[in-house]
Amino acid sequence: MSEATKKSPESLGIDASRMPRHIAIIMDGNGRWAREQGLPRVRGHQQGATAVREIVTECARLGVEVLTLYSFSNENWKRPQAEVDFLMGLYGHYLVAERGEIVDNNIRLVHVGRREGLPEDVLREMDTTITASKDNTGMRLCLALNYGARTELIDAVQRIAKGVADGVIAPADIDESTIADALYTAGLPDPDLLIRTAGERRISNFLLWQISYAELFVCPAYWPDFSVEHLHDAIRDYASRDRRFGAL
């Protein structure tokens, strides 16, 4: 992706000031997509990976600052072992296959979630891509891998408690910024737009602190069918809303 292929928000018929800085996506429906096609569930995950590339590319073209993808939750470890193994292999393959595109297109990879529990080969490839892209200044691509919002809050509370115990933090000084700085997403703007595919209307333990004021968009399409046009519809819908943040 060169500078020549960059797109302006105006190309979607919206003003640049109405463009979301941070888009978060709950990518749902891979398994149902495969079932309706008469295919094994893993084929849905493979097709979903293709959708990831298209949406990442389009968000970078549009100048989105941060894109966070809910890739694998803490609860997903409960799935059949064969499916979990396939998904871990798919993540490792993605991190290798897309490394050049991420680096060349000035995208910076960020991991959001716990490292503990992830396979060594996935951690190795993830760390390699993070290191290779750490000086990039374009869109930050956050993979929520082995992520759960309640787990994130537990980890944040433990970090803050340690700071209090060490005398670095005074209990009376703990405020919203203290908590935000202890989260996996420290330093990132909160999501402006949360998209969920497959028509589901729940948050599923995703970025519970960070989406306090996010605009929600539910798309009926399964994730493997989620297209650039669906993304544009979500952004246009976001741009049409009046965000008051509790004010009149």
Whether 15 is in a domain gets the answer no
**Residue 121 belongs to domain spanning:** 21-148+191-239
For residue 66, the SS3 value is strand
Query: According to the model, what pLDDT value does residue 245 have?
Result: 72
Query: According to the model, what pLDDT value does residue 38 have?
Result: 97
Whether 95 is in a domain gets the answer yes
Whether 122 is in a domain gets the answer yes
Q: What DSSP designation does 213 have?
A: T
Count how many domains the chain has: 1
Query: According to the model, what pLDDT value does residue 2 have?
Result: 46
**Is 30 a known active-site residue?**
no
Query: According to the model, what pLDDT value does residue 65 have?
Result: 98
Whether 172 is in a domain gets the answer no
Whether 88 is in a domain gets the answer yes
Whether 113 is in a domain gets the answer yes
Query: According to the model, what pLDDT value does residue 243 have?
Result: 83
Query: According to the model, what pLDDT value does residue 247 have?
Result: 64
Residue length, the chain? Answer: 248
Query: According to the model, what pLDDT value does residue 22 have?
Result: 98
Whether 221 is in a domain gets the answer yes
Query: According to the model, what pLDDT value does residue 6 have?
Result: 87
Helix (H) or strand (E) holding 124: helix 120-133
Per-residue pLDDT for the chain (248 aa), expressed as one digit of tens each? 444 478 999 999 999 999 999 999 999 999 999 999 999 999 999 999 999 999 999 999 999 999 999 999 999 999 999 999 999 999 999 999 999 999 999 999 999 999 999 999 999 999 999 999 999 999 999 999 999 999 999 999 999 999 999 999 999 999 999 999 999 999 999 999 999 999 999 999 999 999 999 999 999 999 999 999 999 999 999 999 988 777 65
**CA 43 distance to own-chain centroid:** 21
CA angle, corner 201, sides to 27 and 189, nearest 5?
60
Whether 39 is in a domain gets the answer yes
- The active-site residue, picked from 28, 105, 146, 192, is 28
Distances in Å between the Cα of 196 and the Cα atoms of 15, 51, 101, 241 are 24, 14, 25, 17
**Is 136 a known active-site residue?**
no
Distances in Å between the Cα of 144 and the Cα atoms of 9, 69, 166 are 26, 6, 30
- CATH for 204: 3.40.1180.10
- The active-site residue, picked from 76, 106, 136, 205, is 76
